[in-house]
Amino acid sequence: MQLSEQELLRRQKCQELRNMGIEPFPAELFPFTHHSQVAKHEFEKWEAQKEENPLKVVLAGRLMSFRIQGSASFAELQDEKGRIQLYFRRDDLCPTEDKSLYNNVFKKLLDIGDIVGVHGHLFRTQLGEITLHVTQFKLLTKALKPLPVVKEAKDDSGNAITYDAFSDAETRYRQRYVDLIVNPHVREVFRKRTRLVNVMRRYLDALGYLEVETPILQPLYGGAAARPFKTHHNTLDMTLYLRIANELYLKRLIVGGYDGVYEFSKDFRNEGMSRFHNPEFTQIELYVAYKDYEWMMDLVEEMVEQIAIELHGQTTVRVGQNDINFARPWKRMTMFEAIQHYTGVDISQMNEEQLRTTAQKLGVETDATMGKGKLIDEIFGLHCEHLLIQPTFITDYPVEMSPLAKKHRSKPGLVERFEAICNGKEICNSFSELNDPIDQRERFESQVELGMRGDEEAMTLDEDFLRALEYGMPPTAGLGIGIDRLSMIMTNSASIQDVLFFPQMRPEKKVHNATVADFKALGVAEMYVPIIQKLGFWTIEDFKKNTANKLHNDLCSMRKKMKLENVPNPTQEEVESWLSHS
RNA sequence: GAUUUCGUAGCUCAGCUGGUAGAGCAAUACACUUUUAAUGUAUGGGUCCCGGGUUCGAAUCCCGGCGAAAUCACCA
């Protein structure tokens, strides 16, 4: 591995610290008393009460910047809750003649990114910033890689300006730890995501529903239209699929007698990736017995409204250019009404041929395999969905698109299903669950037929699920909410990668350069490897193309140029032996 | 999967019609006892993503690859 100048330097500093008896990676715990923000609040109280005794605290965190001014210095310490300024003064840290703790350890051997613990008392600088006057500090972890340095300032009106923001998307996603260190708003996004999940959990627990876990490895995948990931179990010698949904398992639990079950489930779909799609994503699915989809709409709008209030203190959330208001009640319209509203065409009474003609007139690309349901869905997708910015329930979907939903109680050809659309995207999907095992079998069979015709996303027939239904599942309302999608809206994130800590990426390319060990195998001492690399020989092949004379010459002159005084020049014979080594 | 754009120092980015690789921050050295994008002076730091081609000469032009982003298609 080729180390940069700064990395080499930090390794040297580590050694110097050890030489001074300072362990750069100490084992013992560090008992801090406050987080930065708490300390600041306490200091404000302390000021208000006009206390005499100084307010002493112990903090721990990462050094994010230095402003050194001779025998006094300022630094920024960042901990989980924020930042606080530190003030170091030489003669406080080093009351005796020996000033090396300040002059060497602090000024020379600490770096941006190092993690330290500090003791001291709080005060306010002349410029009014609450600051810790450090009386004692301890290195807790040395950082061997330099961090991106992001600088912040305030403009005249007090708005924060960021300079040199660490913004390269690829590096941010691949090295999320760095992103989290230097971009505080990223830490905040993920806190919001967790709070969002917690609100849901609290809400559903309060209703008495049971949080459960169901298999991720499934012999049959089902519950959604999607292509799965396939894997293999060695002992059982069988194919298993990573779940694409947990619907069929949760409904088995309703058959088993629980009134309400839910699961935050990681699902896996072997499909394209985009800023709305990651191969693994999180959904909450909820099933409640003795309810229907009308009831479920009330639950969704109440629960999501609570999320908005919890995260933003209000029902309105800014997303891109739009202010989205989650206040109940949300608008409700049937799919036919939505299409009529946005296209002016009433398709509710049309047969397949009329629908096809209408779809074509409306600019939908059609083909012969598309049935009534698909045509309606396409029209809706093209002309309605992206226009629905405020949260809206779209109800009553064509039966062909919904093989697990119950037929509508009064509208033939439709099912009791709704989606909530928000910011032009679906955020949830729900229906009165199909519990008639005969009907369910027929729906599965028509899915199997689609599969035979080449639809890779068609569902498979799950005999055990049908057997469960035959024992009787009460009327049940079911719901799925995409946690990632909802998090994007609630955190105003443009890409799903911004709400996943570790979004799926292609592997980083491995440069097949020769390693130190490869050179050692030729008999080359490790100390010569940096020189060889500096000369531009990255592979053994390139290295061996040299003649002994030239290589010896180059090595000696580069050694001099690199000022490696403690590395002796190799002898001509040594160099010859490397090149002749097979 | 298709199209477009991008890949240069630890970070953010310049680099024109091809001619020895640049800035700011970070680093190193010196100065500076309440600064805050601290400041001043000096110094070091590069596989210009990888591989071919054209050319006397390629970070730059061409071809191929790898990686990323945006848009589209499928999907949540």
| More confidently predicted of A270 and A557 | A270
Nucleotide nearest to A9 (CA to C1'): B27
Q: Residue at minimal CA–C1' distance from B70? A: A275
pLDDT of amino acid A9: 93
Burial (CB count within 10 angstroms: exposed 0-12, middle 13-18, buried 19+), residue A81: middle
Nucleotide nearest to A562 (CA to C1'): B44
The pLDDT of A379-395, averaged and rounded, is: 91
| DSSP secondary structure, A487-549, as one string | HHHHTT-SSGGGSSSS---PPPPPP-PPPHHHHHHTT--GGGHHHHHHTT--SHHHHHTS-HH
pLDDT of amino acid A525: 81
pLDDT of amino acid A35: 97
| More confidently predicted of A432 and A366 | A432
The pLDDT of A19-47, averaged and rounded, is: 96
Q: Residue at minimal CA–C1' distance from B73? A: A272
Integer distance in angstroms from CA A165 to C1' B36?
Answer: 18
Q: What is the pLDDT of residues A464-493, one digit of tens each?
A: 999 999 999 999 999 999 999 999 999 999
Map residue A94 onto helix, strand or coil.
Answer: coil
Mean pLDDT over each residue of chain A, to the nearest integer: 90
Cα A88 → chain centroid: 37
Q: Beta strand pairing status for A476-482 and A425-432?
A: antiparallel
| DSSP secondary structure, A170-238, as one string | HHHHHTHHHHHHH-HHHHHHHHHHHHHHHHHHHHHHHTTPEE----SEESS--SSS-PPPEEEETTTTE
Q: Residue at minimal CA–C1' distance from B25? A: A149
The pLDDT of A563-582, averaged and rounded, is: 78
CB of A106 within 8 A of CB of A94?
Answer: no
Nucleotide nearest to A92 (CA to C1'): B33
pLDDT of amino acid A504: 93
Above pLDDT 90, what percent of chain A?
66
Above pLDDT 70, what percent of chain A?
96
pLDDT of amino acid A569: 82
pLDDT of amino acid A547: 73
Q: Residue at minimal CA–C1' distance from B38? A: A67
The pLDDT of A35-60, averaged and rounded, is: 93
Integer distance in angstroms from CA A459 to C1' B22?
Answer: 59
Integer distance in angstroms from CA A9 to C1' B28?
Answer: 9
CB of A474 within 8 A of CB of A435?
Answer: yes
CB of A494 within 8 A of CB of A275?
Answer: yes
Amino acid identity of A44?
E
What six digits make up the tokens of A542?
A: 């390139």
Q: Beta strand pairing status for A130-141 and A82-89?
A: parallel
Query: CA-CA-CA-CA torsion for A515, A521, A522, A523, nearest 10 degrees?
Result: 110
Query: In angstroms, what CA-CA distances link A363 with A140, A187, A381?
Result: 64, 44, 12
Q: Residue at minimal CA–C1' distance from B27? A: A6
CB of A164 within 8 A of CB of A150?
Answer: yes
Dihedral (CA of A516, A519, A522, A523) sign:
negative
Confidence band of A189 (pLDDT split at 50, 70, 90): very high
CB of A267 within 8 A of CB of A282?
Answer: yes
pLDDT of amino acid A458: 82
| DSSP secondary structure, A58-85, as one string | EEEEEEEEEEEETTEEEEEEEETTEEEE
Nearest to A406 by CA among A341, A345, A356, A476: A476
pLDDT of amino acid A265: 95
pLDDT for residue A511 is more than 70: no
Integer distance in angstroms from CA A20 to C1' B16?
Answer: 54
Nucleotide nearest to A429 (CA to C1'): B76
pLDDT for residue A457 is more than 90: no
Query: CA-CA-CA-CA torsion for A393, A397, A402, A407, nearest 10 degrees?
Result: 110
CB of A118 within 8 A of CB of A102?
Answer: no
Q: Beta strand pairing status for A217-218 and A392-398?
A: unpaired
pLDDT for residue A161 is more than 90: no
Lowest mean pLDDT among A42-51, A169-178, A335-344, A447-456: A447-456
pLDDT of amino acid A561: 65
Q: What is the pLDDT of residues A202-256, one digit of tens each?
A: 999 999 999 999 999 999 998 998 889 999 999 999 999 999 999 999 999 999 9
Nucleotide nearest to A151 (CA to C1'): B37
Nearest to A88 by CA among A116, A113, A128: A116
Nucleotide nearest to A513 (CA to C1'): B47
Burial A43-77 (b: 16+ CB within 10 A, else e): beeeeeeeeeeebebbbbbbbbbbeeeebebbbbb
CB of A124 within 8 A of CB of A113?
Answer: no
Backbone φ and ψ for A329, nearest 5 degrees, come out as -85, 150
pLDDT of amino acid A562: 65
Q: What angle do CA A148, A151, A153 make, to 5 degrees?
A: 170
pLDDT for residue A551 is more than 80: no
Map residue A325 onto helix, strand or coil.
Answer: strand
Amino acid identity of A136?
Q
pLDDT for residue A510 is more than 70: no
ipTM of this complex prediction, to 2 decimal places: 0.91
pTM equals: 0.89
The pLDDT of A407-418, averaged and rounded, is: 94
Q: Residue at minimal CA–C1' distance from B40? A: A69
Integer distance in angstroms from CA A505 to C1' B45?
Answer: 31
Burial (CB count within 10 angstroms: exposed 0-12, middle 13-18, buried 19+), residue A226: middle
Residue with tokens 């994130």: A493
CB of A52 within 8 A of CB of A46?
Answer: no
pLDDT for residue A522 is more than 90: no
Nucleotide nearest to A110 (CA to C1'): B27
pLDDT of amino acid A575: 84
| CB-CB neighbours of A372 under 10 Å | 20
pLDDT for residue A132 is more than 70: yes
Q: Hey, which residues does A285 pair with through a beta bridge?
A: A263, A480
CB of A480 within 8 A of CB of A429?
Answer: yes
Q: Which residues contact A555 (CB under 8 A, 6 or more apart)?
A: A528, A531, A532, A535, A569, A570, A575
Nearest to A476 by CA among A159, A228, A248: A248
Q: Which nucleotides of B are covered by protein (CB under 7 A)?
A: 1, 9-13, 24-29, 31-39, 44-47, 66-76
Q: What is the pLDDT of residues A276-316, one digit of tens each?
A: 999 999 999 999 999 999 999 999 999 999 999 999 999 99
Helices and strands (DSSP H and E) totals, chain A: 20, 20
pLDDT for residue A114 is more than 80: yes
Q: What is the pLDDT of residues A220-234, one digit of tens each?
A: 998 998 889 999 999
pLDDT for residue A61 is more than 80: yes
| More confidently predicted of A540 and A98 | A98
Contacts 24+ apart (CB under 8 A), A375-378: A376/A335, A376/A339, A376/A347, A377/A401
Integer distance in angstroms from CA A16 to C1' B20?
Answer: 38
Integer distance in angstroms from CA A531 to C1' B21?
Answer: 22
Q: What is the pLDDT of residues A320-374, one digit of tens each?
A: 889 999 999 999 999 999 999 998 999 988 888 888 888 888 888 777 777 788 8
Confidence band of A498 (pLDDT split at 50, 70, 90): very high
